[in-house]
Amino acid sequence: MTQRARAVSRYFDEVAATYAARYADRGPAGHALAVRWQRLFELLGAVEGPALDAGCGPGLLLAALGERGIAAVGVDLSARMATEAARRAPAVVGTLDHLPFKGNAFGIVIAMGAVEYVDDDQAALAELTRVLRPDGVLLASFPNRFSPYRIWKNAVFYPVVDRLRPLVSRLRGRPVPASVTAYHHHYTVREVQARLQALGCLVEDVVSLNMQLVPSPLDEWLPWLSVALSRRLERFGRAPIGRLGTAFLVRAVKRR
């Protein structure tokens, strides 16, 4: 297992028991998850399963798909996340770049907040399309390289936090918590379109997500302001101002 995979696995193992609660959070983090779900089901349309949720986390999306009559299975790098997910639907431990499923097995493949954690993200995209049947739908989210919010966070906020975290942990007498801030890939829409096209997929739609304007740590200190501004801007997800979004969601169809 690579250093990136170990760090990602450790982080999600540590937060597995409480991660589901983030979806009910009324702050910026909860809003980002809620918007992603909303756009996901808007883009899903009337597609027949079965579905794969790659990077399924605690399995809430698996349960939501089941409520819509779509049989779904999840896979996650974190063993504890897979255990949490298995309480809601079938889920196994596995990596996106070596999915434990046969080719053409799914009518729907979903990867929300997952591809960016994989060392070889191109191999992950290849695997996601391999297990997708012809005319099946891929729905995947990607961090936006040009998001002002992400640029600030990656260049300033995260480096400061990562330096302070060991000191704060020592003062509290606690072990240093896992961090994945250094293990994200970032993308442009054009880059993702080219990669998927090379894998035989036609990108049908792209929508930007989570229009964050309030920089960290102000977004956590003033969550009501951060969420209110973001909500007002979400309707511009397909407009030029959508570049403010911290991520974008792609719907692609596998060609025969």
> How is residue 220 written in tokens?
């956590």
For residue 111, what are the domain limits? 3-254
Q: Say how many domains are in the chain.
A: 1
Indicate left, alpha or beta for 109 from its phi (over 0: left) and psi (-120 to 50: alpha): beta
Other CB atoms within a 10 A radius of the CB of residue 98 amount to 10
The three-state secondary structure class of 205 is: strand
Q: For residue 244, is pLDDT > 90?
A: no
Strands 132-143 and 106-111: parallel
Residue 189: give its domain's CATH number. 3.40.50.150
Q: For residue 167, is pLDDT > 80?
A: no
The mean pLDDT of the chain is 87
Pick from 66, 141, 70, 140: which is nearest to 107 by CA? 70
Using pLDDT thresholds of 50, 70 and 90, give the confidence band for residue 217. Answer: confident
- pLDDT for residue 199: 95
The three-state secondary structure class of 3 is: helix
Of the candidate ranges 5-9, 75-79, 128-132, the one whose mean pLDDT is the lowest: 5-9
Instruction: Report the alpha-carbon distance of residue 4 to residue 123 in Å, rounded.
Output: 15
Which amino acid, 195?
R
C-alpha atoms less than 13 angstroms from C-alpha of 65 in its C-beta half-sphere = 29
pLDDT in tens, 173-190: 555 555 556 567 889 999
> How is residue 127 written in tokens?
């695997």
**Percent over 90 (pLDDT), the chain:** 51
Alpha helices in the chain, H assignment, sequence order: 3-19, 28-44, 60-67, 79-86, 121-130, 148-152, 158-172, 189-198, 218-221, 223-233
> How is residue 170 written in tokens?
């020592």
Residues in the chain: 256
The rounded Cα 114 to chain-centroid distance in angstroms is 5
The reported pTM is: 0.89
- pLDDT for residue 164: 64
In sequence order, which residues have a C-beta less than 8 Å from that of residue 219 and are 6 or more positions away? 27, 28, 212, 226
**Percent over 70 (pLDDT), the chain:** 91
CB 111 within 8 A of CB 54: yes
Question: What is the DSSP track for 206-249?
Answer: EEEE----SPTTHHHHSHHHHHHHHHHHGGGTTSGGGGGSSEEE
